[in-house]
Every structure is written in structure tokens, then in C-alpha cells.
Structure 1
Amino acid sequence: MAGLVVRGRADRPKTHTLTIPRHKERSMTVSRTVELEGHIIDSGMMGTCFGVVMDMGGEFEVEEFEVGRTKHAETYCRMRVTADTEEDLRAILHELNQQGATVTDPRDATLEAAPEDGVVPVDFYSTTNHPTVVRVDGEWLPVEDVEMDCALVVDRSGETPRVHTTVLNAIEAGDLVVTGDTGIRVDPPERPRNGTGSFGFMQGGVSSERPSASLIEEIADEMRAVNEDDGTVLAVCGPAIVHSGGRNALADLVRTGYVDALSAGNGFAVHDLERDLYGTSLGVDTESLEHPRKGHKHHIYTISEIVRLGGIEAAVSEGVVSEGVMFECLENDIPYVLAGSIRDDGPLPDTITDAIEAQDAIREQAQDADLVLMLSTLLHSVAVGNCLPSTTKTVCVDINPATVTQLLDRGSAQAIGLVTDIGTFLPMLRDELLE
């Protein structure tokens, strides 16, 4: 049995001894000491770390445990982790690192030059989307442009070193890539005892049925705050916005400055433009729900007309397109990225058909966003979500509960979701903001 001393930070003289059974008794040969600090009990971090060690065949002994005894106080845990071999211990420490544990005797990160363009060292560190710092030359440096599934590159070209994430295809020969887990600290989201509000750590959860007026008010308040701070609200849009009748409400939000950037696929732009040119979306009149003759051809006619004119901007400047979301983006200098896919008709001249180029454009948008509205598009929202730090506030809206759940589970520390018709949500949000 391993002894555990519990010290309440608000009352250090009081001590209690608890016992924790070890995973199993056997001879161990290597060990390291790690620390956890923060709201590690409320967030489940401590229990998760205990489970990681045992599930991976190691053992742990808690050497010190100081419990924060007020709502704002943090908890501290130091434990020794042991394993059969260095390789086993390294694997355990890697998983603990992803949960926010750090070794007590930090060393500089290990750097290895990339052997050639697009090739990283074998043991490169694969990033999470959580805030991360790396120890270089004895100093802890924050990682710039935090993003999951990237490599960490140390840039020594300036007066002081910098650390930034780099996607694997952008690695250049000679780049100093961080390998292993030494000298890396990850700060995953916590759940403090006093977490309040819809944007607290998953506090909003998934709201089903009709949109909650109070929840929409919370989202509107956040959009106002971002607007007042000259921040960026990024709208990730699917064609269902047009099909369901939410197009005009979104256009109003763009026109009035509550949406600062737009990310979508070719389909969204096509149906938005089709609605202006023919009064239909996918050949259906969104107001009368009638199917005009040859309506099923309207989307391809729209693409042909925009191509003939030379693009969306030309169509707007010549007065062919006079309303809608894309119109408002151009009229109000709102940047947009249209990323193509294998399913696209046309596509429009404005659509980026190179997948790597589209990823880079989306990545630039995502890193600049303070609040992201994911509006009825699973695949495009996943693409944007992959580029977001876990600290970016996110709103996910879709009629499919599985879509909302999947988007919320992508690691954001501040996310809320609504299972509802986007054609109902957007007008309610518009009214809350404008009326």
C-alpha cells in the first residue's frame, strides 16, 4: 500500500493519511516524478492521470497531495511514476503530458533537424490544441498558433528563439523540430468550482428542441463583446442556411458588422447566389416551397453565369448579384474562404480547389477568430475545428444531435451546442442583436 498525505491549503496543520492500493506488485526499474496543479479534482485530471499510469502497466506513488479548500484554491499533486523500461516510462509520460502533468526536473526540449522537406524526425512531438510551452535554452516559451496534429518548430533566426506549430507538409529541411516529450508543458482546460455561464467549460452542453431564448441572448452578448473589442467572429456556413430560410438573417449580421469573416464550401456560395438570381435554393422556392420548371438546373445555371462574369466580385460590381450573404461580404469588405471538395459542381471561380491551399486559408482564419459560429455543416466545421486552439469560444448549431455532439467533443474548453433548425436559430439571433 502507498501512503498518501493530504494537506488542506487553508489549514496546513491538519493532516490526514489515506491509502491507495497500487495497481499490482512487481519489480520496477525506472521512474520519474511528475506534478499536477490546478483544479485537477473538479476537472477529473487527477483521476485520468492515475488511470493512464495503471492502464499502461505502470505504477504510481503519491508523494505529496495538497487540496485547495476554497472555490478559488488550486490542488497540487506530486507523484512518482515507475515502469519496467525506459520505453514504457516514456510512453506513460507522453500520455501524462497530454493531460497537463509535468516532470519535476524539467530539461530543455530535444531538437532535431528535419532531414528533408515535408519529413519530420521519427520521434517528433505531435501537438494538442491546448496552450503549450516549450523549454528552450532554460526558458519556457509559449507556442505560437496553437493547433492539434502539428509539429513544433523552434526558430532561432531572431534575437530570441520562437516556437510555433507547423503542419507536416510545410516542414522544410533543416527546421529544428521538437522530439520526445522532454521540456514540454501542456495546459488543458480545467473545470473550476465557480464555472458559470453558457461559455464555461462545457457548461452549455447540448440544448435540444427549440432554441433557448436565454442561450441565444448569451451568444448575442458574447458577439457584442467581441465586436466592441474589435475581435473576430467567424461564421462557418453550410448550404442548409439557404435551404431553411436563414440566409437573410445571416446577411443582416454580416451587413451590421456582427460577422467578421466567413468560411464555407462551394455549395453554400452557389445556393446563396442562386437564391438571388432565381429565387430558389436547390431548385426549390424557399418561401412558397414550390418547384419551378427547370428549377433543378438553377444551381448549375448560377455557376455558369458567375463563371461567365469572372467571379462573385464581378457579378456584384455589375449589379447581377444584389443581395444575400456573399453580396454583403463584398459590400462590407468581409473576408471569406470558399474551400472546394470532390463533390463540387463547377466550381465557382472564387472556390479554392487545392486542398493544401484551402487548409492554409482556413488555418489563417481560425487562428484569428475569437468566436466561431459553426452553422449546419459537419465536415467544414470539423476542418475549421482542427485548426482552433481549445481556448476559442465555439457555438455549434445543427438539426442533427450527432453532429453537434461530434463538434463539441473536439476539445474546445468553451463550447455550447444547439440541436435545432438553423432557419429558426439565425432569425432569433438576428432579432436579439438588432432589435
Structure 2
Amino acid sequence: MYSEQILLRGHIIDSLILPKAMDTILEQGGDYEIEDLEVGKLKTDKSTAKLLVKSEDYETFNRILDMLTDYGAEVIKDVEEVELIESEKDKTVPSNFYSTSNYNTKIRYNNQWINIDNIEMDCVITVDTENETATCKPLNSIKKGEKIVVGRRGVKVTPPEKARGKNQFEFMNSDASAEKPTRSIIHKVAVEMKEIKDNGGKILVVGGPAIIHTGCAPILADLIREGYVDKIFAGNALATHDIENALYGTSLGVKMETGELVEHGHKHHLSAINTINKAGSIRDAVEQGVLTSGIMYECVKKNAPYVLAGSIRDDGPLPDVITDSQEAQQRMREEVQDVDMVIMIATLLHSVATGNLIPARIKSVCVDISNASVTKLADRGSAQVISIVTDIGSFLPMLEDELHRLE
């Protein structure tokens, strides 16, 4: 029989961390005994639980301990140093490498706890022993000879805590449903955005082409111009149809003002790409006076960074689109480091990609008319994301209205 004492502490009752940990132990084929439990009485008080985790199978036992680490469990023993093994080849790590979550993570090295500032899920931790720093890296960026954290010894994970009582950004934090009061949820999103901007924070919007198709391009452009949105992640489609709308008043050849299909309008998106190619880039088109309105225009005028990640289905694409997916991922990884809030709108692919890159501390909202799309992020491990099931054509106008009411 293999056994180990673990300690869970914090708001483990309200956050359901304790019952989740106990369920995990049993579901994985182990067993446990609660040796001590202290429940905080006041809203500000934290709770602690000491459990004896047991299993007759060694692999099962270690798998359980690995999973409990994601709940912030600490093995009760003398503090141990992190274990490091050098990579033997580029893009490879030892087989027992530590796989990261998006929760706040520290490692114990040279008698001190080192925080991993750029934490993201599904990566590895490398340690610069000379400078005593640690970094979270994707597998494809690992170089031969880098020191890799292996096992779970000397690793401390702290999941986000749900304090007792009301928390502004934990509203409606349950399964997504179109039946929830959309206006009140959007009001709270607006309040959070206003607070972030008042404190000098940054907000990123991850957008799909439905923003253009539903006639909401002017609204997102307004939010960029007014300083509510600082950065944009998208694909070729959003930028192309935004520029098509700015040049021809259409999106996918449909007149935005009337909803009528324009004769030969099917070529407008290609004409838009051709126009930008002639100018050289989106910025060049703005500076030359070719592009005078729209989302991409406002990004250029406000010096708001944008990352356009391409895909195999793209027409053109625009010259600003990054067609190398790994390069695009790295650019997105760099841009999310100073972001305080992410709003993902009607783009499952880019939302999941962004969700995989951001730490759990970043407030996140996913909006889509499809219930399955907004729950996909939670299924992929982005548990901090608030899901709103609604039409984009309703969401953005209401959001802009709520922001202006708060001014």
C-alpha cells in the first residue's frame, strides 16, 4: 500500500476544491482518510484539510498525486528542492517532465520559491540555474541542454480561490445557458472593463468574422478608438471582411445597410485583399489614405497591437496575416503577458488557442450563440472563463451601451 499525507488550504469549501479532490481520488481507484479538517467561520477565513491518500498500485498512486497538485495540494513532508534533468535533444524533454496548468505556480530551488510569471497550460518549466530564474516554455521551443523540471517535487500550484460572499466577476459562473439574464451579465462585464481601464489595465478582444457579418464592426471600432479595447487577436476573415466593409459597404458581398446581395459582390473580399496588397500592408493603407474606417483602421490609429493568425482555408491572405501557426502562437503568447481581461467573441478556434495561452488570473469572457462553443473552453481546462450564450449582434451593442452608461 502506498500512502502520502496531503494538505489543502484556502477557500477549499466554497471553491469545491475539497470535494473535487476527494472525488478524484476515488474515481482514479485510490482511497483517502480525512485526518484533520478546519473550516473557516467568517467569509474572510480560510479552511484547511489534511488527507491521507492511499492506493495499492504505484502508477495509480502517482497519477492521483499529480492530479491533486492541480487543486493546490501540498505533500506534507520536509520542503524539497525541485528536480532538474537536462534535455538531450531540441524539442524533447525527459519522459517524467512536469506538465504545467494555467494556475499560479512556484518551484523550490536553492532554498527559495521562484514564481513562474509566464505560466500557461500544457507546457514545461525550464530553470536557469546561473540566474536562478524559471520559465514556462512550450515543447517546440526547448533546446538541448536546458534544465527541465521533472516529477512534482518542489512544485507548488495555487488554484484561483473563490472567496465566500459575492465576487464581482464570479457572477453566473456555472453551466452556460441562453436562459440567463443577458443584460445583467453584460452590465457586470462592462463594470469589470471600466474598473480595469480606470486602473490602467489592458483588455484584449479575440474576434471572429461574425462581428462584421452582424453589423457590429463600427461598435468594436468605437471601443478601440475610445480606449476600451487595447489589442485584437483574429484570423484573416475578420480583418478581410472588416476592410471589405470599409471599402465597399459589404460583408461576404452582402450590403450591410440593407442586407441585400450586391451583384458581383462575391469578389469584394478578394478586391479588399488586393487593395491592401497594393498598398503594402494594413498600416500602409491607412497612412496612404486608402483605408479610412473600420476595426483595423482604428487599431492602426491607436497603435493597438493585433495578431492575425492564418489558416489553411484563408483567401489571399492579407499581407499582415501570420501564416506560420507556431510563429502566430508565439506572437499571441507575447501579447497576452500584460493583459488583464480577455473577451472572446464568436470564434471557437482562436478562443481555444488564446485560452490555452493565458494564466487563470486573467479575467476571461467567451461569447457565442452556440452553447457548445462557450463550454469548449472549460472542457479544455480554462475553468476561469465566464460563458455567455447570446447573439453577437445583441452582445456588442448592449456592451457599448452599458459602458457609456458608466461614464
1:185 alignment partner in structure 2 = 156
AA aligned to 2:344 is M
Greater helix proportion: 2
The 5-angstrom pairing of residues 80-99 of structure 1 reads 80-99=52-71
Q: 1:45 aligns with which of 13, 17, 28?
A: 17
Partner of 1:399: 369
8 Å contact from structure 1 (residues 233, 372) kept in 2 = yes
Per-residue deviation, residues 161-217 of structure 1 (Å, max 9, x unmatched): 1122100011111111100111111112333321333x1276376352697333222
Give the corresponding residue for 1:3.
none
Question: How many residue pairs get matched?
Answer: 404
Report the secondary structure of 2:54's partner residue.
strand
Alpha carbons 1:211, 1:425 under 8 Å: kept:
no
Q: Judge conservation of contact 1:272–1:325 (CA < 8 Å) in 2.
A: yes
Q: 2:246 aligns with which of 255, 261, 276?
A: 276
The correspondence of residues 57-136 of structure 1 with structure 2, limited to 5 A, is 57-105=29-77, 106-136=79-109
Counterpart Cα distance in 2 of 1:399 and 1:86: 45
Q: Deviations over 1:363-391 (max 9, x none)?
A: 11222210111011111111111101111
With 132-141 and 65-74 compared, the bigger mean Cα shift is at: 65-74
SS at match of 1:395: strand
Residues 348-407 of structure 1 deviation map (CA, whole Å, 9 limit, x = unaligned): 100000111000011112222101110111111111111011111111111112112223
Question: What one-letter code is carried by the residue in structure 2 that aligns with 1:433?
Answer: L
Cα distance, 1:434 vs structure 2: 3.2
The two structures, once aligned, show a CA RMSD in angstroms of: 1.8
Question: Is the CA contact 2:377–2:385 (under 8 Å) kept in the aligned structure 1?
Answer: no
1:421, 1:121 → 2: CA distance?
Answer: 46
Aligned residue runs from structure 1 range 12-31, under 5 A = 28=1, 30-31=2-3
Partner of 2:399: 429
- Is the counterpart of residue 138 in structure 1 residue 108 in structure 2? no
Change (3 A) 1:408 1:63: closer
The sequence identity of aligned pairs, in percent, is: 46
1:47 aligns to what SS in structure 2? helix
Aligned residue among 296, 301, 304 for 1:326: 296
1:173 pairs with one of 144, 152, 161: 144
What's the CA shift string for 1:61-85, capped at 9, x where partnerless?
Answer: 2222222222222221112223335
Give, in angstroms, the shift of residue 304 of structure 1.
1.4
Taking the aligned partners of 1:339 and 1:58, their CA distance within structure 2 comes to 44
1:56 lines up with 2:50 in the alignment: no
Find the aligned partners of 1:93 and 1:104 in 2 and give their Cα distance. Answer: 12
- Check the 8 A contact 1:269/1:326 in 2, yes or no: yes
Q: Tell me the TM-score normalized by structure 1.
A: 0.88
Which of 93, 109, 125 pairs up with 1:152? Answer: 125
For residues 13 and 274 of structure 2, the distance between their equivalents in structure 1, rounded to whole angstroms, comes to 59
Q: Is the 8 A contact 1:367 1:387 kept in 2?
A: no
Counterpart amino acid of 1:58? Answer: G
Aligned residue identity for 1:399: I
Letter in 2 for 1:117: D
For residue 246 of structure 1, what is the aligned residue in structure 2? 216
Unaligned runs of 5+ in 2: none
Query: Structure 1: how far apart are the matches of 2:235 and 2:338?
Result: 19
Q: Which runs of 5+ in 1 are unaligned?
A: 1-27
Contact between 1:190 and 1:201, CA under 8 Å: does it hold in 2?
no
Structure 1 373/196 Cα, relative in aligned 2: closer, same or farther at 3 Å?
same
Contact 2:7 2:74 in 1 (8 A): yes
Q: Highest Rg: 1 or 2? A: 1
CA distance 1:416–1:58, shift in 2 (3 Å): closer
Question: Cα gap change, 1:201/1:415 in structure 2, threshold over 3 Å: closer, same or farther?
Answer: farther
**Cα separation, 2, equivalents of 1:86 and 1:72:** 39
**CA distance in structure 1 between the partners assigned to 2:185 and 2:45 by the alignment:** 29
How does the TM-score come out when normalised to structure 2? 0.94
